Homo-oligomer: A and B are copies of this chain.
Amino acid sequence: MDVSCNVSSIKLKNPLILASGILDENGYTMKKIIESGASAVVTKSIGIEERKGFETPVIYEEYPYFINAIGLSNPGIDAFASEMNILKGYNVIGSIFGTGPEDFSYLAMKMQEYGAIAVELNLSCPHVKGFGLEIGSDPDLVESIVSEVKSKVRIPVFAKLSPNTHDIIEEAKAARKADALVLINTLKAMKIDINARMPVLSNIYGGLSGKSIKPVGVRYVYEVSKEMNIPVIGVGGIESYEDVIEYIMAGASAVEIGTAIYRHGKGIFKEINNGILNFMKENKIESLSEIRGCALR
């Protein structure tokens, strides 16, 4: 049985990638995650300059909700070189964010220089003004960012899109020059504590991730896989091997896992991998390509 998979020109030993923003600011942490069974890690989204991110509280948790407003805290692309150094020889996908084509292409080139096997454009963070969501909802800007980055780097370029939209196909088409689409980022959401009578997150709004958003994530992967011919990486609410299979049947080439780590720990990658192998054995599936997109109608 073969759980390996290809995303554009990248070959992965299994479809399980660490999602951006979760345990991936620190080189040693990312190394641990890969040693725990992930086939690759996506770094925290890195910008041109250091950002402290928002004041605490930056997360709110009440299963099945997980809302975060970390605020793109990151050390800046230059300082990040030292973390990338720790990861030489490992499968690292560099996530980057910026305000326009110049930022993104500069950051992408840096990531390539640092040894990233691919670059993931964060076009979709829902809670930071001027980045992410605001970019993601402007198809022309998305198109020019993707084109510009593609023209500047040799490594594959993934575009991570926002689920806070009414027309994912329009968005996806704007990003069609990317080597793969990553769906989805978090849903803009919030929590008010009724006893404190105020929003919990210092930023008020945050991004909903985890279990609650899986049906939305699967739908985006399905919709895009059905309408377009482009590799898709599925993200959102994956907690079990069943969830991974669901995304793959919806058309995903691979998946990213984030929030689930807080309940299941880093062991989740091995656990899910074993689950997938068992499922394949029971159902006499030799390779994931047999079931990829099989639910598409």
Q: CA A133 – CA B219 in complex, angstroms?
A: 15
Is there a chain B Cβ closer than 8 Å to A64's Cβ? yes
Closest-by-CB residue of B relative to A282 is B195
Given contacts A194-B246, A212-B212, 10 further A-B contacts (CB under 8 A): A64-B64, A136-B166, A137-B167, A187-B187, A190-B215, A191-B215, A192-B222, A197-B249, A197-B295, A199-B222
A219 touches B65 (CB 8 A): no
* 12 pairs of residues in contact across A and B, judged by CB atoms under 8 Å: A64-B64, A65-B214, A137-B166, A162-B166, A165-B165, A191-B215, A192-B246, A192-B249, A192-B295, A197-B291, A198-B297, A212-B215
Tell whether A208 is near chain B: CB-to-CB under 8 Å.
Answer: yes
Do A215 and B189 have beta carbons less than 8 Å apart? yes
The secondary structure that dominates the A interface is mixed
Q: Which residues of B contact A295 (CB under 8 A)?
A: 192, 197-199
Among A208, A215, A249, A279, which residue has the most Cβ atoms of chain B within 10 A? A215
Residues of A within 8 A of B (CB): 64-65, 67, 133, 136-137, 162, 164-167, 187-192, 194, 197-199, 204-205, 208, 211-216, 218-219, 222-223, 242, 245-246, 249-250, 279, 291, 294-295, 297
In the complex, which residues of chain B have a beta carbon less than 8 angstroms from the beta carbon of A213?
212
Inside 8 A of A197's CB, which chain B residues have their CB? 249, 291, 294-295
**B-chain residues with CB within 8 Å of residue A214 when the two chains form the complex:** 65
Q: Which of B166, B192, B218, B291 contacts A218 (CB 8 A)?
A: B192
CA distance A208 to B163 in the complex (A): 14
**A166 contacts which chain B residues (CB < 8 A)?**
133, 136-137, 162, 164-166
